[in-house]
Amino acid sequence: SQKIEQNSEALNIQEGKTATLTCNYTNYSPAYLQWYRQDPGRGPVFLLLIRENEKEKRKERLKVTFDTTLKQSLFHITASQPADSATYLCALEGSNYQLIWGAGTKLIIKP
Amino acid sequence: DVKVTQSSRYLVKRTGEKVFLECVQDMDHENMFWYRQDPGLGLRLIYFSYDVKMKEKGDIPEGYSVSREKKERFSLILESASTNQTSMYLCASSFDAGTSYEQYFGPGTRLTVT
């Protein structure tokens, strides 16, 4: 069955450094992948979508890569700030407009 | 801005009660979804709807039902609440489009069943 893995351990990063989060998947070849941010007690908020024919996508301080050979996506936040602290979820294309979700990685940016 | 609202942020119900969770979106989205989120498990799809009066089971539909009588409103019903349904419930909506698949979420309802 399809499986998505995100690092379940929290990632602690010093302010100003680049944070890199990983999303791995198996038994699947999605046409696109999405990243969301979720703050405590709130619903996820869409950040970026990357398609299978795109190797990299950027939005301000965010960068996402999509390696369909490795079945992996990397999510980078450059010049990280304490306000970037949140849980980040990856989601892959499912059938009928559904998404298949990872459990998320908690990112903590220390001042 | 897209807005998805949910009827309650926090809800406490007793075992056996019938529970209604309502979701309304204002962007004329065709697709609407109900998820539950539990620590370490990520988002699990309960039901989704791609049109008025249409519904499809997700991964964990047991113990739940849904209703979509109007395009903007999608209701989740717990027929007889049980303690294992204590969770965060999230509603989402999305366009039925070929280029845009992002989902827009409501703030969530934290349901406690005692």
Find chain B residues with C-beta within 8 A of A104's C-beta: 42
Task: Residue B45: give the domain boundaries.
Answer: 4-97
In a domain, residue B110? The reply is no
Report how far residue B61's alpha carbon sits from residue B58's, in angstroms, rounded to the nearest whole number: 6
**What is the tens place of the pLDDT at every residue in B28-71?**
999 999 999 998 888 999 999 988 989 999 999 999 999 999 99
Q: Could you please report the per-residue DSSP string of A10-65? A: -EEEETTSPEEEEEEEES---SEEEEEEE-TTS--EEEEEEETT-SEEEETTEEEE
Find chain B residues with C-beta within 8 A of A41's C-beta: 107-108, 110
- Predicted local confidence at residue A98, as pLDDT: 82
What's the structural domain count of chain B? 1
CATH no. for residue A17? 2.60.40.10
In a domain, residue B79? The reply is yes
Report how far residue B53's alpha carbon sits from residue A23's, in angstroms, rounded to the nearest whole number: 35
Tell me the shortest Cα–Cα distance from A97 to chain B, in angstroms.
7
What's the structural domain count of chain A? 1
Q: Which of B52, B63, B59 is nearest to B16 (CA)?
A: B63
Mean pLDDT in residue range A42-60: 93
**What is the tens place of the pLDDT at every residue in B81-111?**
999 999 999 999 998 765 567 899 999 999 9
CATH no. for residue B89? 2.60.40.10
A41 by Cβ neighbours in 10 Å (0-12 / 13-18 / 19+) ranks as exposed
In a domain, residue B109? The reply is no
Find chain A residues with C-beta within 8 A of B103's C-beta: 44, 46, 99
- Predicted local confidence at residue A47, as pLDDT: 96
In a domain, residue B66? The reply is yes
Query: In this complex, do A34 and B42 lie within 8 Å of one another by their Cβ atoms?
Result: no
Task: Residue A54: give the domain boundaries.
Answer: 3-110
